[in-house]
Amino acid sequence: MIRFNLRAWLMLAAALLLAACASKPMPPAKSVEPVKTALWVGNSFFYYNNSMHGHVGQLIAAADPGTKGYRATSVTISGSGINWHDLESHFKPGGVGSYSFDAGNNVVFNSFTKPFDVVIMMDCSQCPIHPQLSKFFTEYAAKNSAIARSHGAEPVFFMSWAYADKPEMTEQLAAAYLKAGADNRARVVPAGLAFANSIAKRPDINLYVADKRHPTLAGTYLAACTVMASVYGLSPVGNKYSAGLPAEVAEHLQNVAWETVKGFKQP
């Protein structure tokens, strides 16, 4: 069972907050507009189970029926680290996100002042804490945050989960992503903490496939609910979209995602 040390987490958050405030001035306040469009940049953790961004879209559609303008595009490379992606190229005019398909499979050419409101990024599952690869995470978290902002999008880091047989990764990954968020003034999606919290409450709900790394449908759904709460500010609790999971399983995962996000504090 994964055990998450809340006291240690709070101490780490406080230390990073002090360090961030001492090293960098806070940016001026700005109006907060609802997120409608997202670019997902990552690897197989995103594309498993017919892609996490699709489940987020279904959750949003169920929570906010009739509202138009939501759009998401997933750009993934199997096994990729954050440094494998050329983020600048994803903002090329006429490229990623320039057209979509409607419910009738008709091509719709998108017109926008900026391609995406947010860029949701993740590194490979162990890269942020790997002794040889963590330097790339630090470097490209900063580089890609700057690229996203240069195109009018806010960077968001997706905190991935521990391997099923290596629960100690939860706190290690949380620390790495929290630091990246503080260093780059970026939001962090606490999906890894949601996994740990779910396992602590309901170890009978399996979040991993046989390789002990990739998510089952329940794992993808939990992460999608966490993104919905973190990035879009919408509670998944009571959402009618269950991804085909049993109702009581979906309800548990919705509640865990919402409780995790509400309890997650960033510097």
> Tens digit of pLDDT for each residue in 153-199?
999 999 999 999 999 999 999 999 999 999 999 999 999 999 999 99
- Residue 226: name the closest of 216, 236, 218 by CA: 236
Instruction: Compute the average pLDDT of residues 51-79.
Output: 94
- And the tokens for 116? 């995406």
Give residue 113's pLDDT.
82
Q: How far apart are CA 117 and CA 148, in angstroms?
A: 9
Give residue 261's pLDDT.
98
Q: What are phi and psi of 42, to 5 degrees?
A: -175, -135
pLDDT in tens, 66-98: 888 899 999 999 999 999 999 999 999 888 988
- DSSP for residue 109: E
- And the tokens for 33? 């507009």
What's the Cα-to-Cα distance from 175 to each of 16, 33, 221, 238, rounded to whole Å? 9, 28, 24, 31
Torsion of CA 8, 11, 12, 17, to 10 degrees: 160
Alpha helices in the chain (DSSP H): 6-23, 44-47, 52-63, 134-150, 169-184, 191-201, 217-231, 247-263
3-state SS, residue 100: strand
pTM (2 decimals)? 0.88
Give residue 5's pLDDT.
53
